[in-house]
């Protein structure tokens, strides 16, 4: 990093990330986040139905991927405006913006289609899955099928970048045989092409007519799969068919159909795309069935954070103290959210509390904290003393340190940091470290950074000592590569197909189409 990055580093370091936390470990997906939108009315059944959906999906996913993948642990993020419970924990890194699945009201009233926000290329991860509360609660099963199966359909969009094997704009095509076929995969899915018109409580069924211009069926014609099927593929066409347990592969893939999968993935089957993913390459089939998912319930609450600032003698070198204060000032004025609780601790060979936790409501509280920034650098260095004091500050407001945050700014010239590693690990706190000076590399990283990376999954930034006096925030850049633009009302590219359970005979109501 260039010398003057400290201030803006803090801005991006301490803002909540919008990047998915999901990782694959021993065939299991860990740290999946499902977030409930604050606008959703409180309903305990919703949490239980999310658990049921994911548990069912895990088994279906395991079989569909030839015993390769399952959901290992999942965090359900509960809104702050829902009533608290002893079983709810504070989030650490999890936030609504970076949730893999969002449970929120439909963009348009009455439109409960599950979808994945997918504006990426074939094989690339999408942004997030959107479910409505009514869908999760099972109120739309007649239209979209079992929620667990549909979750796997959407997960394939999200994680592996595959696309639907139907096409709402081109529901039929004429193949090499000159026969009109429904856009689907595989062609082993049987059914009939009909025009259904429903009015009041009755429906009429008519054969489809051929359009003289397109040589395909008329606009209102739809393909209705038969109730009894034997074909196993494909999940990306219609996972709600009872017999469907697999993705289309190279042997049964329908390359003639104008499906989105063919259009976006150069006529490759969904299984070929999945098989080429990093997930697939890094795993082998499991010999035994996987355990059920483990769920954590996290309730969003005010941010609790303590600045831990190094004022030891080595901080007087290379303008480190001034740069540290600049970073702290930038964080307080530009980054910390109103409603957050912020405290401050200084340390040299010992620690001193300069501000207990105060809730940020306006610039008044921020300015009060700024008055407590260190002005003189003297003495030895005891990082562990600073962290211990920060824990005490936090516990005065919240006995549970878990999920609270510490922003540690130090040059790292302390060889005793390993003495508090276990305590920090067990605390569950999130440590953000900004290391100032080259000696941080030798003194701080061996003991403390192992903890940072392996146990806390927190952030570290390193800055050089050579500082240009004329540098300002305008020259700064940042090292965060994650970019996420949240526009929830934008139209989705991938929407789940409706169910086929009632797609035979006369329907009781008009089927919903995207």
- Contact indicator for 343, 356 with CB cutoff of 8 Å: yes
- DSSP 3-state assignment of 268? coil
Q: What angle separates helix 147-160 from helix 44-64, to the nearest 10 degrees?
A: 70
d(CA 99, CA 300): 13
Of 456, 322, 435, 325, the residue nearest 381 (C-alpha): 435
Q: Count Cα neighbours of 345 within 13 Å in the Cβ-side half-sphere.
A: 28
Instruction: Say how far apart CA 291 and CA 71 lie, in whole Å.
Output: 9
**Residue labelled with tokens 């007519």:** 209
Phi then psi dihedrals of residue 209, to 5 deg:
-100, 150
Comparing CA positions, the residue from 462, 454, 353, 345 lying closest to residue 405 is 345
Count other C-beta atoms under 10 Å from residue 446's C-beta: 12
Catalytic residue among 94, 143, 154, 405: 154
Known catalytic residue: 154?
Answer: yes
Dihedral of CA atoms 392, 395, 399, 405 in degrees, nearest 10, equals -100
- Which pair of tokens denotes residue 389? 């004091």
Whole-angstrom CA distances from 55 to 295, 341, 351 are: 10, 37, 48
Give the residue carrying structure tokens 């609270």. 404
Cα 174 from chain centroid (whole Å):
40
104-111 long-range contacts (CB < 8 A, ≥24 apart) are 104/36, 104/37, 104/39, 104/40, 104/130, 104/131, 104/132, 104/133, 104/488, 105/37, 105/39, 105/40, 105/132, 105/133, 106/132, 107/488, 107/489
Are 172 and 221 in contact by the 8 Å Cβ rule? The answer is yes
Backbone angles phi, psi at 45, to 5 degrees: -65, -30
Distance CA(356)–CA(435), nearest Å, equals 24
- Which is nearest to 406 in space by CA: 422, 392, 416? 392
Q: ω before 426 within 30° of 0 (cis)?
A: no
d(CA 6, CA 4): 6
Contact 45, 64 (CB under 8 A): no
Residues marked active site are found at 154
């Amino acid at each position: 990093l260039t010398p003057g990055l400290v201030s803006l580093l803090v801005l991006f370091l301490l803002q909540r990330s919008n990047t998915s936390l999901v990782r694959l470990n021993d065939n299991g997906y860990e740290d999946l986040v499902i977030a409930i939108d604050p606008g959703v009315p409180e309903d305990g059944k919703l949490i239980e139905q999310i658990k049921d959906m994911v548990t069912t999906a895990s088994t279906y996913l395991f079989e569909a991927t030839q015993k390769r993948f399952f959901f290992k642990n999942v965090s359900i993020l509960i809104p702050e405006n829902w009533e608290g419970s002893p079983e709810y924990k504070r989030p650490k890194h999890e936030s609504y913006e970076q949730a893999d699945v969002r449970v929120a009201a439909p963009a348009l009233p009455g439109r409960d289609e599950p979808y994945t926000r997918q504006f990426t290329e074939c094989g690339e991860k999408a942004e997030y899955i959107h479910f409505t509360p009514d869908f999760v609660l099972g109120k739309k099963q007649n239209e979209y099928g079992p929620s667990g199966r549909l979750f796997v359909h959407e997960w394939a969009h999200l994680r592996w970048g595959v696309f639907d094997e139907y096409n709402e704009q081109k529901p039929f095509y004429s193949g090499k045989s000159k026969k009109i076929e429904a856009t689907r995969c595989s062609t082993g899915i049987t059914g009939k092409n009909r025009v259904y018109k429903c009015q009041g409580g009755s429906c009429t069924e008519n054969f489809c007519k051929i359009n003289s211009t397109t040589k395909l069926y008329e606009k209102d014609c739809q393909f209705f799969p038969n109730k009894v099927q034997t074909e196993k593929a494909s999940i990306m066409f219609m996972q709600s068919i009872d017999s469907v347990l697999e993705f289309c592969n190279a042997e049964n893939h329908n390359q003639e159909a104008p499906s989105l999968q063919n259009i976006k993935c150069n006529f490759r089957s969904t299984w070929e795309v999945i098989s080429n993913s990093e997930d697939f390459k890094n795993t082998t089939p499991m010999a035994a069935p996987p355990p059920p998912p483990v769920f954590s319930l996290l309730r969003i609450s005010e941010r609790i954070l303590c600045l831990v600032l190094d004022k030891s003698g080595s901080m007087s070198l290379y303008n480190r103290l001034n740069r540290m204060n600049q970073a702290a000032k930038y964080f307080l004025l530009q980054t910390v959210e109103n409603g957050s609780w912020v405290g401050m601790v200084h340390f040299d060979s010992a620690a001193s509390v300069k501000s207990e936790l105060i809730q940020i409501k306006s610039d008044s509280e921020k300015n009060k904290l700024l008055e407590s920034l260190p002005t003189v650098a003297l003495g030895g260095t005891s990082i562990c003393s600073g962290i211990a004091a920060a824990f005490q500050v936090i516990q005065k407001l919240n006995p549970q340190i878990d999920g609270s945050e510490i922003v540690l700014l130090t040059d790292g010239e302390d060889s005793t940091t390993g003495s508090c590693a276990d305590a920090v690990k067990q605390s569950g706190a999130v440590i953000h470290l900004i290391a100032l000076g080259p000696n941080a590399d030798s003194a701080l990283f061996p003991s403390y950074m192992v903890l940072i990376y392996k146990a806390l999954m927190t952030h570290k930034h390193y800055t050089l000592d050579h500082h240009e006096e004329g540098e300002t925030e305008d020259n700064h850049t940042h090292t965060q590569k994650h970019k996420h633009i949240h526009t929830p009302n934008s139209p989705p590219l991938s929407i789940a197909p409706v169910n086929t359970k009632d797609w035979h005979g006369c329907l009781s109501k008009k089927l919903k189409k995207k």
